[in-house]
Each structure stands twice: as structure tokens, then as C-alpha cells.
Amino acid sequence: MPAILNCDKQTYKDLEFDVIIKWMEEYCVGSTALNIVKNLKPIDSRERLIKYLEQTNELLSIRTEGETFPRIEFEELSNEIRMLPVKNASLPLESFQHIKSASILVNSLIYFFNKREEEYPQLYSLLENLPFTKEIINAIDEVLDKKGGIKDDASPKLFEIRQRILSARRQSNNNFDRELRKWLKKGYLSDTKEAFFDNKRQLAVISSYKRMIPGHVTGSSKSGGVTYVEPESTFHLNNEIEQLQDDERSEIFLILKELTSKMVVHLPLIKDYQNVLTKFDFINVKCRLALSTSGVLPAILDNKKLDLIDAFHPVLKKSNDDLGKETVPQHITMDESKRMLVISGPNAGGKSITLKTVGLLQLMLQCGLLVPVHPNSKMCTFNSLLTDIGDNQSIVNELSTYSYRLKRMRYFLSVADENSMLLLDEFGTGSDPDLGGALAEVFFETLYAKKCFGVITTHYGNIKLKADELEQAVNGCMLFDTNTLQPLFKFSIGQPGSSFTFEVAQINGIPKELITRAKTKLDHKKVKMDRLLNELQKEKTYLSKLNKDHIEAQEIAEESRLNYEESKLKLDDKLNQLKNRAEETNKLISLGEKLKSFVKRYKTKGKGKNVNAELMAEIKKYIAIEKSKIEEVKKEVRLKTQSKKKKDQPKKQRDQFHQTKIKIGSTVKLIATKQKGVVEEIENDDVTVTFGFMRMKVKLNNLMWVKD
């Protein structure tokens, strides 16, 4: 089943998806991920959606389990990839640093996921065909030092040039220091003594003495009191240094040009680096969003069902967290037996935010983002997500709220089907209550007949009644504490809610006599129905509290039972240990007693040499029996080991079978790292295999045949 294909700009605006996008933009490292985030849309393939969700969930598991994972920090290689194919081009120095850093990072990722194919299959698959290689790194390290500059010995000519520069600079400094001491002694220099112009040392001469010093005037101070002079003894040396520096730049250009030609060979691999690192960048963005919003991966069902447990609206939760306020999680369930959910209840009680929570989480999920719900939650996918939320008057087009909503409804009626999710806030409002309510009821019946899913908030009694009549529709309400006259911001499914119009008016300071007069203006049936809803909600709140207390009592009892069983197991284990120790002690005592009896019977005096012969024979027999017991235990251990080896034998035979099929041109896999390559040469047990751009010799028993 495809993901959302029909989701217009108004839906993104209604659900505040732009806020989620702004959060994600802050987490992007490179421009590619940033561009993906800015243009994030629902994924049009269920298979790709599952794959992207699992990728993010795997990285989230790595982050939350505290594993040491490489930092996703890199410079994108787009410019390098564009310039490398250009004939006779030379990459700038920083480009080689970017390529080297990318190679190091990819190697780190390959190393991390080595032997973790089963644990993180989706992330592993991104790197599966990339080789672990240091060819690029080594080539760059031959030229660049640790600070990213060109090494002195990058070429013999560069080494010679830099030695000559050092020598000339040293001679220039010596000459300058001599001139400085000479003219300072004569009092011709200002307090600053010297200055730098054009990277050259200049004497700071009192202007009245400037003609006394042989050299070249290069400038003066703002006041004109100091003239800057380059001494004649350093002038020619400085010119020589400049010429040598020109030679140095020319040689560096040639060195970088040669290094660029070496990088051209690795261009396909560099493109792979760019591809895989930008993918990891975007996955990391989604992971960081999940960490900041407590996002998880719910079960994704094939059938149409939503079971959002402890669901939060991420924007509301962040806002409340910043203010130190609590956000009440919601539990919202919908399936084909209750696919149209009508939510009623007091104003400012949380109806709209509950509706928006369903919509935003659905949109986030189908854009490949993890959502803030309990991990046991279940979600599905829809082909279209249609919203009408808030006051959308248009001054430019002279549309009233009601006119806008009618145009929106006409659109919904034309596109909604069984794969649609509708979110309609304050359904039917904007016109005469009776007339608007009647039209809203007809719209509701028509949308229901299209078999679509929908979450609707309303105050209209006829919509609540219609939801109660229709088999696959269900009422729900936002709970209200009738004792404190405060909304609880908690959703409850199964019954409509009172609007608590008079109660809300009371807590907002409206005099009681005005509220009493207002009640007399209403149809007594309307007042009676509202009072009935009020009482039903009171009873439901009371029953919910009883149920909660009962569940807590059950949990305490279960915890006590588990603690008892755990204590019993520990006690039984301790008793077994004591029993084993007692048996061992008794055995040692028995051995001691036996030895004691032998000692007592041993005769030190007597006739003949064989006075203790009978005793010694008995001792030998006793020792032989005890030794046979020990040998029996060893035999049992040996038999168990042999049995295990027999079980492992089929695997060994399977590996040998795969090795016999290996020939030149075969695709093989390193058993240790799962890295795939192609066989180029076989010499006895030595096999030459090409892994991407890397050739290496591998022992035959370290390889497994994949295909010819």
C-alpha cells in the first residue's frame, strides 16, 4: 500500500509541520541533507518508508545504548566531484583535507558496522559495497602534514626551495638586527624601533633622520613623525625571498596537480563517499529529532488501524516543557469498526490538540520520522491526509470562514475514499447553528459512506447522536473535572462530552444569575441532555479512578509476587551452594578419617620388612578407586566436548564446500568482515581478491564463495 500521495500545503500549515522542519534544519551538517529536509514530503512507497524508518530506528538504538559511534561531521565533496574530471585541473589544498576526512569517516563507519550485519541490517547495507581502504589517506598524507599544509619533502625541488628561503630569511634577519642596533645606538629610531610592511621588517626612523640611513622609504606614520625604511642590506635578500616564494607557489601547484591526478583514479569511490555520508547526515537529522521529541518506531500494520498509546503533540510538549508545564499524553484508538471518531467536550479542553496530534504524528510517520508514542503503539498508512483546522478567512479572496470551509468540504467530498484520513476541527461551525448543523450532518453521512477514516471535533448535538447511530463511528470526549471546574486535557473514547458551557462561563467569572437566566432560554430537553452527559462523565471519571486504583493494586501485588519468587530463587540457590559445600566438606572429612585410620594402622616397629605390606596394598587399592572416579568425571567432560564438536562439524563442512567452488572470476566474501570481492588469481591456498579499489592476498580458508 503506498504512503500519502495527496497532502496539500494547507495540511502542512494546519498541522504545524513547518515547526518540525525548522527543528530538523538545525541538525543538518551539509547542504544536501538541508535541501532534503526543506523539501520533505511523504514517501510514496511503503517498502521505502519501512526501510527509512528502520534506518533511523537503528541509529537511535545505537545512540540510546551508549555505543561509541563516529561523529557525522564532514564537508560535502560536490565541488571536488565536479572538478576532478576536468583535464589538467588542480584541486585547492582544502579539497584534499575534505576528501581525506571523508575517507577516514567512512572507514570509521565500516569498522563500526563490521560484524554487526544482523544487529543493524539497514545501516550496514548502506556501507556493504564500500571497501575499507587507506589508499586515499596515504596518498594525501605523503603530501600534506598534520596541519593540512604542504610537507617540505613533498618533492625534492620544494625541499630545496624552502631551504633556500630559510637561509635567505635568516641572513636578512641577521642583517636587519645589525642595522637596528647600529641606528638605535645613534638615536635615529623611534620608540617602536621597527614595523612590518608587506611581511618585511622596516626600521621606524625619526623623520628628521630618514636621509641619514641608506635604504628604501616604504611609508610614514599618520602624524609624519616616523618614517619607515627598508635597510639597503636586506633589500636584495627580501627580493630574493619573494622570487623564491614565487618558485614555491609554482612547485606547490605542480605537486597538487599530480595529487589531483591520483585522486581522479578514486573518483567513483569519492562519489560513493559523498552519497553515503549525505545519507547518514539525513538519517542522523531524523535520529536527533527522535531524541529531542522522544520519538520511537511503532508497529506498522497492513490493515487500517491506529492505536496511539501515550501520544504527544511534539510542538505542544516542547512549548510546555519550556514553560515547566505538564503535557498529558493521549491514548487514541481507531480501526475499521470505529473509523470515524467524533470528539466533543469543553472549549480549551484539548479537542483540537488531540485531533492535531493524530494528524501530525501520521504525517511525520509517513515522511519517515519516528513519532512520540509508546513503543507498543500501532499505526498504518493512508493515501491522503485532508485537514480543515482553525479559522482560515481570506481577505484577498473575500472568503469568510464558512465559505472557505464549504470550498474545502467540496474538495474533500471529491477525493476522499477508504484510504483517506480526514481531520475536521469545529465541524459545521461558521453559520447558523441549526442550518449549519443540518448541513454538517449531511456532510458527515456522505463522508461516512465513502468509508474513509476521520477525526472530527464538534459541539453539535446532532453530530454526536449521528456518531452513536452509525455502526463504524464512535464518540469520544475530553474529560472535565466537575468538582474543580477545570479541563483535564485527557481524551476518553466511548461517549460524547458535554460542552460545559455554563461551567466554563462560571470559572471565567460570569455572574451566576446571568448563567441561570441563560438556562431558562434553552429548550428543557437540551438542558436535560447536557446535564445527563455531565452526570455520565462524572460517573465515568469515578469508575476510571476505581479502575486505576484496582490496576495499581494489581501491579503492587504482582511486584510483591515477583519479589517473593526472586527471593525464593536466591534462597534456593544459596541452599544448593551450602548443600554442595556440605557434601564437599563431608567428602574431605571422610578422606581425612580414612587417612587417619591408615596412619593409626601403620606399624613403625615389627618383625620383617613386609610388616605394613597388607596395609600398603589396601592404601593402593583405595587410591586406585578414588582415581578411577576422577577419571570418570574427566571422561564425561570429554564426551560432552566431542558431542559439541560433532554439532559444529556440519558448519565446517559447509565452509569447505563453499571454498571448493572458488575459482578465478568468482565473487567471494571474507568470512570475518563479510566484505565482498572478485577473485583475480589463485596460487595454492593464496587467493588474490579485488575489493573495490584494493587488491589483497587472502588465505582460501578465510573466504566463502558467493557466486560465479
676-692 pLDDT, tens digit each? 888 888 888 888 888 76
> Which residues, 6+ apart, have CB-to-CB distance to 403 below 8 Å?
none
Query: Do 247 and 111 reside in the same domain of the chain?
Result: no
pLDDT of residue 396: 37
Nearest-CA neighbor of 584 among 592, 596, 573, 572?
592
Question: Beta strands of 425-570 (E only): which ranges?
Answer: 453-457, 473-481, 486-493
Phi and psi torsions of 8, nearest 5°: -85, 175
Decide if 356 is inside a domain.
Answer: yes
**HEC readout, 225-286:** CEEEEEEHHHHHHHHHHHHHHHHHHHHHHHHHHHHHHHHHHCHHHHHHHHHHHHHHHHHHHH
Given this model, what pLDDT does residue 608 score? 63
Q: Is the pLDDT of residue 173 over 60?
A: yes
> In angstroms, rounded to a whole number, what is the distance separating the alpha carbons of residues 691 and 696?
8
Residue 606's CB: how many other CB atoms inside 10 A?
9
Lookup: cell for 283:
538519517
Q: With CA atoms as reference, report the closest residue to 377 among 342, 341, 330.
A: 330
Residue 579 lies in a domain: no
Instruction: State the Cα–Cα distance between residues 342 and 127, nearest whole angstrom.
Output: 48
Say whether both 456 and 332 belong to one domain: yes
The whole-number pLDDT of residue 543 equals 64
Q: Kindly state whether residue 545 falls inside one of the protein's structural domains.
A: no
Query: How far apart are alpha carbons 201 and 194 in whole angstroms?
Result: 7
List the grid coordinates of 317: 510538549
Do the domain assignments include residue 570?
no
pLDDT of residue 397: 43
Q: What is the arithmetic mean of pLDDT over 68-81? A: 94
Which of 57-66, 195-204, 401-410, 506-515 is the most confident on average?
A: 57-66
Query: Are both 314 and 386 inside the same structural domain?
Result: yes
Among residues 230, 238, 236, 231, the alpha carbon closest in space to that of 165 is found at 238
The pLDDT of residue 435 is above 80 = no
CATH code for position 703? 2.30.30.30
Comparing 635 with 527, the larger pLDDT belongs to 635
410 shares its domain with 503: yes
Strand pairing report for 299-300 and 378-379: parallel
Tell whether the model's pLDDT for residue 313 goes beyond 80. yes
Quick one: pLDDT at residue 491?
A: 78
User: Identity (one letter) of the amino acid at 403?
Assistant: S
Q: Does residue 214 fall inside a structural domain?
A: yes
pLDDT tens digits for range 552-600? 777 677 677 778 877 888 888 888 888 878 877 887 887 788 788 877 7
Do residue 320 and residue 429 come from a single domain?
yes
Local confidence band at 247 (pLDDT 50, 70, 90 cut-offs): very high
395 pLDDT above the threshold of 50: no
Residue 656's pLDDT is what?
Answer: 62
Highest mean pLDDT among 3-17, 105-119, 526-540 belongs to 105-119
Looking at the predicted structure, is the pLDDT value of residue 609 above 70? Answer: no
Highest mean pLDDT among 10-14, 157-161, 403-407: 157-161
Q: Using only the alpha carbons of the chain, give its radius of gyration.
A: 42
Q: Confidence class of residue 160 from pLDDT cuts 50, 70 and 90?
A: very high
3-state secondary structure of 147: coil
For 534, the grid coordinates are 455531565
- Summarised one tens digit per residue, pLDDT across range 319-375 is 999 999 999 899 999 999 999 999 987 766 678 899 999 999 999 999 999 999 999
> Hey, what amino acid is at 52?
Y
Contact 204, 195 (CB under 8 A): yes
CATH number at residue 239: 1.10.1420.10
Place of cell 541509529: 59
Bridge partners, residue 203, by sequence:
194, 229
Helices marked H in 416-487 — which ranges? 433-449, 461-469
Cα–Cα distance for residue pair 535/529, rounded to 1 Å: 10
CA distances from 365 to 158, 401, 630 (A): 58, 30, 64
Domain co-membership, 312 together with 280: no
Kindly state whether residues 238 and 343 are assigned to the same domain: no
CB contact set of 318 (below 8 Å; sequence gap of 6+):
292, 293
Among 269, 293, 317, the domain boundary falls at: 293
Helices first, then strands: H and E counts in the chain: 20, 19
What distance lies between CA 178 and its chain's CA centroid?
Answer: 64
The lowest-confidence range among 56-60, 440-444, 602-606 is: 602-606
Task: Answer with the one of 521, 541, 573 that is the final residue of a domain.
Answer: 521
Contacts of residue 104, Cβ cutoff 8 Å, sequence gap at least 6: 137
- Beta bridge partners, 462, equal none
Cα distance between the two ends of the chain: 36
Residue 552 located in a structural domain: no
With respect to residue 445, please indicate whether it lies within any of the assigned structural domains. Answer: yes
Query: Once rounded to an integer, what is the mean pLDDT over residues 592-615?
Result: 74
Q: Are 344 and 496 in contact (CB under 8 A)?
A: yes
Q: What was the pLDDT predicted at 42?
A: 93
Q: What is the rounded average pLDDT for all residues in the chain? A: 84
Range of the domain at 123: 9-152+260-293
Quote the longest CA-to-CA distance of the chain.
136
Which is nearest to 24 in space by CA: 373, 346, 370? Answer: 370
- Please say which residue of 467, 491, 521 terminates a domain: 521
Question: Ranked by mean pLDDT, which of 243-247, 455-459, 552-556, 598-602 comes out on top?
Answer: 243-247
Distances (CA, A) of 420 to 8, 92, 222, 413, 698: 13, 53, 77, 11, 57
How many domains would you assign to the chain? 5
pLDDT of res. 507: 61
Res. 461 pLDDT band, cuts 50 70 90: confident
Judgement on whether residues 119 and 213 belong to the same structural domain of the protein: no
Whole-angstrom distance, CA of residue 625 vs CA of residue 163: 87
Same-domain check for residues 417 and 350: yes
Contact present, 76 and 272 (Cβ < 8 Å) = no
Q: Taking residues 293-312, report their average pLDDT.
A: 94
The alpha-helical segments, DSSP class H, found in 65-193 are 78-83, 93-113, 121-127, 135-141, 156-185
Q: Are residues 96 and 205 in the same domain?
A: no
Neighbours of 519 (CB within 10 A): 14
Q: Work out the pLDDT band at 309, boundaries 50, 70, 90.
A: very high
Is residue 169 domain-shared with residue 239, that is, in the same domain?
yes
- Please check whether residues 679 and 648 belong to one and the same domain: no
The pLDDT assigned to 198 comes to 83
Q: Which range scores top for mean pLDDT: 274-288, 474-488, 574-588, 630-644?
A: 274-288
Single-letter amino acid code for the residue at 511: P
pTM: 0.69
CB 143 within 8 A of CB 151: yes
Segment 255-283 mean pLDDT? 96
Determine, yes or no, domain membership for 191.
Answer: yes
pLDDT at position 385 is: 93
How many residues would you count in the chain? 708
Summarize the confidence of residues 530-534 as an average pLDDT.
Answer: 59
